[in-house]
Structure 1
């Protein structure tokens, strides 16, 4: 299937404006409409202080059938999932059911490796545990290095299943319902109806339907959501409606040793479940996400209460994530520059 299938037309457009067309709209439109070889296929939503400044869809939810994307279409959000999991863990901490610095064997006695006596919930949250497989030793002494991990967040899901007596799917369902996120689901909760198809560009430049979309651990990278639901999440999460204030402060604190050479952003610092960027004296919180066939981004700027959400269901050039996330980072830079210009 050739790129011509992605004719750069507004197949579906949902735009809420307040006054004249603003600078952000012009810049994003120009970015999307002047890129012709590998066009954006997804949803972009920019909101500030509860008002939607930009909300448009481009392309298809089903490329073969040419079904236009809709605003409430659901995407697999990749590592954005980790902040959902972190909040569920920290709510158990707020209840006194989880000690962040106790050995995880306290919660998962069935683990056979000796690292269960030294790895803590804190280590799992900050990717400083070194676990690569449940039946093997850690790849480095616990707490001494950083290594971005999927399995660590799966262990966190198992821990809160143990402490709460409920399945991780049920816990997440209850959380999303509490937030009013009607279109966000654990994939095992079979109530989603608008999941788009994900696509990956192969080595020959052909866009193919992705069959491995759900290969990630759900707690680390396989929740489903929509752009509108993620704006709801940002408002609830960062305003302190989900966690105690001291706990939310830990989430937004750069954790010792939790520093990664990010494939897109370079040196990146982490809190609990999110990245924390203070470059240019702008506080930026959030995460990118990648799942086979899906490329996502959700960042929040607390000072201006701005959400920047980009969800795409075509993954280009996956051997070079800077290119895969081209549109996402370009849109993020537009918003950062606007904040710099008007602060």
Structure 2
């Protein structure tokens, strides 16, 4: 009798799941299909417990030639790059090659500013160093304030090169191969063949090909990837396969003082290389990314093993990032609501 009862219960559970999935699809599709002069141009990917729940492609890789994007189209992922750098740095910690609280002068003796005797790797990881240029003093007393920084992560890449004896590009290549990420590259590793063109809306409202996409430091914001590879990364990174358990715990812990008034999300707290959001009792880990011509988002929800990844190669209204990231934040709201209702 128990086997007879199981079948209708299973069917009901399946119908409910499919119904929820259909609602999510319709909600995302509704946002994307709304008529506007600023249409979404990119790829959206949502997975849960190892299963793809939403994967769709909209628009063009080359707008002028009307070449459509593909699932394996590559995008420059902006600050999502920082978590790659964090892993490479903290692997040196796990090997005993660095100390997070030793002044970086030990690793980069060529630095001439006095802050090299005060700034630590921890300060660089948490954006609490105040360095704006290598030849200038810090803008505040080291460790007392938060100021989102690109140059700090470039310094981290140089430290890793010194302690490992390998180039940062080579180290990242080995990391991606270890994870099985075949379409993710440091920009100096010219193995990418499907990089979408990036576009930026100018002051006259016209979409123009972006020529300064790679102006950011690679370690801070110029890695190249795909939605599928970032999904692989999330499963590899957050499962604890890349770092010792206590080291990974530091990544996911809100670091004291590492708090930012984010231009999109307001007050935002950081671990190492990622944001750590606990609003509404939902643990959300990850990062948005901006590189000229490219807008990206990659968040992971450990409780439900959910990844939501949005990569776009048209940057609208870059003087107002809330508008620039409109599609990303709306999709995030839908996914968060789905997670709240998860059973």
Aligned counterparts of 2:175 and 2:242: Cα–Cα separation in 1: 9
CA distance in 2: counterparts of 1:340 and 1:20, whole angstroms: 12
| Correspondence for 2:335 | 335
Superposed counterparts of 1:95-106, under 5 Å: 95-106=95-106
What is the correspondence of 1:277-292 to structure 2 with a 5 Å cutoff?
A: 277-292=277-292
Return the offset for 1:342: 2.7
Show CA shifts across 1:113-162 (max 9, x none). 00000000000000000000000000000000000000000000000000
Correspondence for 2:168: 168
What's the secondary structure of 1:342's corresponding residue?
Answer: coil
Q: Which residue of structure 1 lines up, in the alignment, with residue 315 of structure 2? A: 315
Counterpart of 1:189? 189
Distance, in Å, in 1 between the alignment partners of 2:41 and 2:192 is 21
2:222, 2:18 → 1: CA distance? 35
Contact 1:18 1:53 in 2 (8 A): no
Runs of 5+ consecutive residues of structure 2 not aligned to the other structure = 1-16
- Per-residue CA shift, 1:252-296, capped at 9, x if unaligned? 000000000000000000000000000000000000000000000
How far apart, in 1, do the equivalents of 2:42 and 2:314 lie? 8
Counterpart-to-counterpart distance in 2, 1:197 and 1:69: 10
CA RMSD, Structure 1 to Structure 2 (Å)? 1.2
Note the residue ranges of structure 1 that are not aligned, 5 or more in a row: 1-16
Task: Please state if 1:158 is matched with 2:158.
Answer: yes
> Corresponding residue for 2:93?
93
**Aligned residue for 1:199?**
199
Matched pairs, number: 327
User: What is the Cα deviation at residue 225 of structure 1?
Assistant: 0.1
Spell out structure 1 runs of 4+ moving beyond 3 A.
17-21
> Retained in 1: the 8 A contact 2:179–2:233?
yes
* Larger-Rg structure: 2
CA deviation string 1:64-107 (max 9, x = no partner): 00000000000000000000000100011000001001000010
Distance (whole Å) between structure 2 residues aligned to residue 130 and residue 271 of structure 1: 18
> TM-score, normalising length from structure 2?
0.94
Residue 339 of structure 1: how far off its partner (Å): 1.2
2:234 corresponds in structure 1 to 234
